[in-house]
Amino acid sequence: MRCLPMAENPKIAPWLTIAGIGEDGIAGLGDEAKRRIAEAELVCGGKRHLELADSLITGERHQWLSPIEHSVELVNAARGRNVCVLASGDPFFFGMGATLSRTIDPSEMFVIPAPSSFSLAASRLGWPLQDLALVSLHGRPLDLIRPHLQPGARILALTSDETGPSQLAALLAGNGFGQSGLIVLEALGGGNERVTKHVAARFSQEVVSPLNICAIEVVAGEGARILPLASGLDDGLFEHDGQITKREIRAVTLSTLAPRKGELLWDIGGGSGSIAIEWMLAHPAMCAIAIEADAERAERIARNARAFGVPGLHVVTGSAPSALNDLARPDAIFVGGGGSDPGVMDAAMSALGPGGRLVANGVTLEMEAVLLGLQARHGGALIRIDISRAGPVGSMQGWRPAMPVTQWSWVKALKDRS
């Protein structure tokens, strides 16, 4: 779930040049970039990049393979040679530089960035970059756009190909944002550059360059699916069969879990996936695994994850504790179901690393007894959450209490290495 650690290689002088190149090709390159491309023994890039720099290349050429990992291995194997990688725009903004830096120390690189497609789009539109949501949908699920659909927001979305704009338009229209402005910017910086403006619900452009970026001015219509930025989202936003941590309890639970950037959560007894989904919505770097024994509910969790724009939520269909075997070690665990089954709580506590956090909710007497016993033996905090909602009592109104929830939270001691 996490990035691979950087390879431990002794630092050597830069042997790898990563040069950003735009649609204007050689004309947009500086003298240093041109010199390094011309002197390279090996030049790597996409078919389009190699064609753009064709007249400069004198060394061996390598066109990116699929999957890209094979080409990354080739670049690493050429360590010590004079290698140049051609990349689109800014190599470290959703680019090849970011990929290569996972295995090649930055001290071994000499990077010459060009303007990114985001920068070019913002300059064409006169939109300040710092005020925008920047989303790469290149080779990634379109659903990632959903959390950014806030009224009045401006978004720049890099797409994968010529179908991206129409798919975005359909998603906007299907979720109550059909009146949003959709601007398609194609082949920016080149001779075929084109900028066209549309309303999402009436998008009809038939011919689109595969090299495009979409600008969205979000207009929310009545009933638009807006995802509030706070924890404790409305239960009605989730598809569920009643097995859901209710919004008030969910808000308290997320607060107690205390998400931190880049952490991994196990959501044991996922139900509708609401806890794992809101955990991932806290920051794009968050990861979560939902463990759910019921196959139908597991499928529902995956659908909810897509609908909330967190398609990276990993769903494991199976029963704890056996389903926990071989999963990546979590930073935090939530137990929302099945905690009274034999071995579940022990397995969860053992799985956490030192400093890891566990939160378990119980509504049954059996689960409450488990949590009381755990608190007596291991410490931690116990709270009881009682929620009442106003409802009709004849011609008047009264309070109708929901089932109280007992919540135990615990932090694994730093000295505990189990």
**Residue pair 227/309 in contact by the 8 Å Cβ criterion:** yes
Q: Taking residues 364-382, what's their average pLDDT?
A: 96
Q: What is the pTM of this model?
A: 0.90
> Looking at domain 119-217, which CATH architecture does it have?
2-Layer Sandwich (3.30)
- The C-alpha atoms of residue 141 and residue 243 are separated, in whole angstroms, by 27
Count CA within 13 A, CB hemisphere, residue 46: 14
Higher pLDDT, 113 or 418: 113
Q: Predicted confidence band at 1 (pLDDT cuts at 50, 70, 90)?
A: very low
Dist. CA 298–CA 59, nearest whole Å: 52
Structure tokens at 1: 């779930």
- Band (416; pLDDT cuts 50, 70, 90): low
- CA 76 from chain centre, in angstroms, equals 27
What does the pLDDT look like over 285-296, one tens digit per residue? Answer: 999 999 999 999
Band of residue 417 on the pLDDT scale cut at 50, 70, 90? low
Residue 307 binned pLDDT confidence (cut-offs 50, 70, 90): very high
Are 290 and 317 in contact by the 8 Å Cβ rule? The answer is no
CATH for 235-411, options being 3.40.50.150, 2.40.33.10, 3.40.50.970, 3.40.50.300: 3.40.50.150
What is the Cα–Cα distance from 315 to 28, expressed in whole angstroms? Answer: 46
CA-nearest of 362, 381, 379 to 370 is: 362
Give φ, ψ of 27 to 5 degrees. -60, -30
Report the b/e string of 58-82 with b at 16+ CB within 10 A.
Answer: ebeebebeeeeeebbeebeebeeeb
Please give the pLDDT value at position 10: 53
- 283 pLDDT more than 50: yes
Which tens digits make up the pLDDT trace of 34-64?
A: 999 999 999 999 999 999 999 999 999 999 9
Span 119-126, average pLDDT: 98
Q: Which two tokens stand for residue 62?
A: 């390598």
> CA distances (Å), 162 to each of 208, 211, 214, in order?
5, 7, 11
Classify residue 13 as exposed, middle or buried by CB count within 10 Å of its CB (0-12, 13-18, 19+).
exposed
Q: How far is Cα 1 from Cα 8, in angstroms, rounded to an integer?
A: 20
Extract the tokens encoding 407: 């919540």
CA proximity to 370, closest of 408, 413, 332, 411: 408
Q: How many CA atoms lie within 13 A of 400 on its CB side?
A: 7
Average pLDDT over residues 370-380: 97
* Band of residue 284 on the pLDDT scale cut at 50, 70, 90: very high
Domain 16-114 is of which CATH architecture? 3-Layer(aba) Sandwich (3.40)
Distance CA 118, CA 28 (A): 17
Structural domain spans, the chain: 16-114, 119-217, 235-411
d(CA 160, CA 177): 22
Q: Distance between CA 398 and CA 392 in Å, rounded?
A: 6
